[in-house]
Amino acid sequence: MQAPTIGGVTVPRGDGTTVVRVRRGSSLTDFADRINANPASLVTVLFHLGEMATATQSLDEDTFRLLGAELGYDVQVVSPEDEERELFEQFDIDIDTGIEDEEDANLQPRPPVVTVMGHVDHGKTRLLDAIRNENVVAAEAGGITQHIGAYQVVKEHEGEERPITFIDTPGHEAFTAMRARGAKVTDIAILVVAADDGVMPQTIEALNHAQAADLPIVVAVNKIDVEGANPAKIRQQLTEYNLVAEEYGGDTMFVDVSAKQGTNIDELLDAVLLTADAALDLRANPDKDARGVAIEANLDRGRGATATVLVQSGTLRVGDAIVAGSAHGRVRAMLDEYGTNVAEATPSRPVQVLGLSSVPRAGDTFVVAPDDRTARQIAERREAADRQASLAKARKRISLEDLNEALAAGKVETLNLILKGDVSGSVEALEDALLQIDVGDEVELRIIDRGVGAITLNNINLAMASDAIIIGFNVRAEGQNAEVAEREGVEIRYYSVIYNAIEEIEAALKGMLKPEFEEVELGTAEIREIFRSSKFGNIAGSIVRSGEIRRGARARITRTGVVVAENVEIAGLRRFKDDVTEVREGYECGINLGSFNDLQIGDLIATYEMREKPRD
């Protein structure tokens, strides 16, 4: 139903109960897609409701509700978690790993899962190594630990053997990335602070991340072997951030350690267990199908896709059908951190799983499905949802080609650039030259970041956050970074000549970037016979060898691989006595090449067209 609405624009209206579901982070354009409206009209409607937004800006729930109420839609903003939950509900699979709905009798204690965080160079990696080396069990088994993304150690604590799981990727970046995807992996954070350096920016950052995730914190005051180390000062500094040591009347355990010399590692593990016991109810039901999170994954040349998963509830067994993110498969084998085969993995146990169809992402949830088919269906649905989400995202980003359109639509006034180059001289030269481009008032060029070296994930994240284009001068984004950029629709343009970069950006700013064309072969035909016609000139009796030959197409004639004519037109095309517009592979036809008459039997006629080339 179309009805005039405020602002003089016409928008299809709902009847007040029409439900429209949009993903969290959607824009007016996404919403417009759903209700078949013009995004620009929605901008106008919203403007009249007192809200300003561009068509591609992501809107919050309140704004969608306001707009929905005006237009007669019940707009429901769905979070990725909701979507996930609904998907699994359809297959009757519960993805909860919590203990709220479990009978007390079914719950068993499970080991705490620990992440080590802190400022760079304060000794996170070294500490993880030291903890691993303390592991008596490993020494007895003679096992050599392998990096699978997590490991378990066993600590004797108050007469009991207590396992503790450590996430083996130090730092809060990985932790935050997983958390951003809704995965709650960690129970306790060890905050490493070097006693000879003190609280640093990333210490605070790590602390904020841990507190935001509601994690109890144990502080490891590291490097106490270094001369001038001052552990008391660290305690003092951290009180400012609400981490008050027990000896000062607070409830945070501080342990002075030396990762290098292996001092007090045991005490640190005790502190982790004490903190866990005091602050957390770490139990899970091991007697059900496993659920958990993928914490690391790789494509291994010999073994195919491998993923380290952390079981959070239930027990994972060899032979289980599982789905992890959009990967699925049957667990062919499970390996622990010593490379030993294990038959089952209980809660808090990390294992490397073999047998998945593809590589899941860190933070993807995994569940055991009743059978292979269900696992595959869920994986496919997830993949489709992912694809849609990334399409929606990709649409939002900017490219040099659509800059002018975006300018005209008032979507951007600024072209944001990130410059990366091989040496600082070239980055500076490029920046200087770019800033001298004179494009008038309507658009501003801003260089929001610059640097030397390959294009990093950080650069790509920044580009995503600020709709920037990345310029790589003699440097590239490699591997996963290139994939992320592609998936997220971040444009990266590569140059090796400064002049070319300047020229293209200037052209883009002036809306004159010329499309590039490439030749696409349409079909080939071989000349079998030549008929002379006084009226038409020569006719090539031919058989179409590949593709199709179309009348009007451009052709190139080759004779034993050597080009004898270029840009000849297929002036006439006949099947028997009939004029036709096209002839397909395997059929014979008569081809008239217009004024070109120098034909021989055996010549190859290849037709092609020029297509606009998507720039890369």
> Rounded to whole angstroms, how far apart are CA atoms 104 and 439?
70
Considering only CA atoms, which of 482, 472, 477, 479 is closest in space to residue 450? 472
At 442 the three-state DSSP class reads coil
Identify which of residues 122 and 382 has a Cβ nearer to ligand GDP in the complex: 122
Q: How far is the CB of 193 from ligand GDP (least distance, A)?
A: 10
Q: How far is the CB of 258 from ligand GDP (least distance, A)?
A: 4
Q: Which of 12, 68, 72, 123 lies at the binding interface for ligand GDP (CB under 6 A)?
A: 123
Render 211-253 in DSSP notation, one character per residue: HHTT--EEEEEE-TTSTT--HHHHHHHHHTTT--BGGGTSSBE
Considering only CA atoms, which of 562, 552, 544, 547 is closest in space to residue 592? 552
Identify which of residues 457 and 482 has a Cβ nearer to ligand GDP in the complex: 457
Q: Which DSSP letter does residue 203 get?
A: H
Q: What's the distance, CA 590 to chain centroid? A: 53
Identify which of residues 125 and 377 has a Cβ nearer to ligand GDP in the complex: 125
Q: How far is the CB of 170 from ligand GDP (least distance, A)?
A: 5
What x/- string results for residues 268 through 307 when contact with ligand GDP is judged by CB under 6 A?
Answer: ----------------------------------------
Q: Which DSSP letter does residue 514 get?
A: P
Please identify, among the stretches 2-10, 45-53, 81-89, 120-128, the one whose residues bind ligand GDP according to the rule CB under 6 A.
Answer: 120-128
**Residue 308 marked in a binding site:** no
Identify which of residues 121 and 432 has a Cβ nearer to ligand GDP in the complex: 121
Counting every residue written for the chain, the total comes to 616
Render 43-91 in DSSP notation, one character per residue: HHHHHHTT----TTSB--HHHHHHHHHHHTEEEEEE-HHHHHHHHHHHT
Identify which of residues 221 and 463 has a Cβ nearer to ligand GDP in the complex: 221
**Residue 510 marked in a binding site:** no
Q: How far is the CB of 132 from ligand GDP (least distance, A)?
A: 13
Strands (E), 257-386: 283-284, 291-300, 304-313, 316-317, 321-324, 327-335, 341-342, 344-345, 350-356, 365-369
Exposure letters 104-139 (e unless 16+ CB within 10 A, then b): eeebeebbbbbbbbbbeebbbbbbbbbbbebbeebe
Sequence-ordered list of residues with C-beta below 8 angstroms from that of 506, at least 6 positions apart, any chain: 437, 439
**Residue 169 marked in a binding site:** yes
Identify which of residues 122 and 556 has a Cβ nearer to ligand GDP in the complex: 122
**Residue 209 marked in a binding site:** no
Give me the torsion for CA of 249, 254, 255, 257, rounded to 10°: -140
Q: Which of 13, 110, 122, 550 lies at the binding interface for ligand GDP (CB under 6 A)?
A: 122
Q: How far is the CB of 17 from ligand GDP (least distance, A)?
A: 56
What x/- string results for residues 210 through 249 when contact with ligand GDP is judged by CB under 6 A?
Answer: ------------xx-xx-----------------------
**Residue 172 marked in a binding site:** yes
Identify which of residues 118 and 590 has a Cβ nearer to ligand GDP in the complex: 118
At 570 the three-state DSSP class reads coil
**Residue 500 marked in a binding site:** no
The number of residues that bind ligand GDP (CB under 6 A) is 16
Please identify, among the stretches 114-122, 353-361, 393-401, 459-467, the one whose residues bind ligand GDP according to the rule CB under 6 A.
Answer: 114-122
Whether 119 contacts 314, CB under 8 Å: no
**Residue 122 marked in a binding site:** yes
Considering only CA atoms, which of 298, 191, 303 is closest in space to residue 253? 191
**Residue 155 marked in a binding site:** no
Q: How far is the CB of 165 from ligand GDP (least distance, A)?
A: 19
Q: Does 346 bind ligand GDP (CB under 6 A)?
A: no
> Rounded to whole angstroms, how far apart are CA atoms 466 and 452?
20
Q: How far is the CB of 245 from ligand GDP (least distance, A)?
A: 19
Structure tokens at 246: 């027990």
Whether 253 contacts 92, CB under 8 Å: no
Considering only CA atoms, which of 110, 90, 82 is closest in space to residue 369? 90
Q: Which of 24, 85, 126, 181 lies at the binding interface for ligand GDP (CB under 6 A)?
A: 126
Q: How far is the CB of 189 from ligand GDP (least distance, A)?
A: 14
Run of H or E residues at 161: strand 160-167
Phi-psi region of 158 (alpha: psi -120 to 50; beta: other; left: phi over 0): left
Q: How far is the CB of 451 from ligand GDP (least distance, A)?
A: 21
Identify which of residues 78 and 226 has a Cβ nearer to ligand GDP in the complex: 226
Which residues, 145 to 204, sit near ligand GDP by CB under 6 A?
170
> Rounded to whole angstroms, how far apart are CA atoms 399 and 415?
10
Identify which of residues 97 and 222 has a Cβ nearer to ligand GDP in the complex: 222
**Residue 222 marked in a binding site:** yes
Identify which of residues 110 and 124 has a Cβ nearer to ligand GDP in the complex: 124
Sign of CA dihedral 425, 427, 433, 435: negative
Identify which of residues 104 and 227 has a Cβ nearer to ligand GDP in the complex: 227
**Residue 511 marked in a binding site:** no
Structure tokens at 434: 């770019």
Q: Does 487 bind ligand GDP (CB under 6 A)?
A: no
Whether 367 contacts 93, CB under 8 Å: yes
> Rounded to whole angstroms, how far apart are CA atoms 552 and 573?
9
Q: How far is the CB of 222 from ligand GDP (least distance, A)?
A: 5
Identify which of residues 197 and 336 has a Cβ nearer to ligand GDP in the complex: 197
Q: Does 124 bind ligand GDP (CB under 6 A)?
A: yes
Q: How far is the CB of 220 from ligand GDP (least distance, A)?
A: 9
Q: Does 258 bind ligand GDP (CB under 6 A)?
A: yes
Please identify, among the stretches 258-266, 307-315, 359-367, 422-430, the one whose residues bind ligand GDP according to the rule CB under 6 A.
Answer: 258-266
Q: Does 120 bind ligand GDP (CB under 6 A)?
A: yes
Q: How far is the CB of 171 from ligand GDP (least distance, A)?
A: 7
Identify which of residues 224 and 294 has a Cβ nearer to ligand GDP in the complex: 224
At 337 the three-state DSSP class reads coil
For the chain, the straight-line distance linking the first and the last C-alpha, in angstroms and rounded, comes to: 42
**Residue 123 marked in a binding site:** yes
**Residue 125 marked in a binding site:** yes
Q: How far is the CB of 259 from ligand GDP (least distance, A)?
A: 4
**Residue 223 marked in a binding site:** yes
Residue, CB closest to ligand GDP:
123
**Interface residues toward ligand GDP, by CB under 6 A:** 118, 120-126, 170, 222-223, 225-226, 258-260
Which segments are annotated as binding site for GTP? 118-125, 168-172, 222-225
Which segments are annotated as binding site? 118-125, 168-172, 222-225
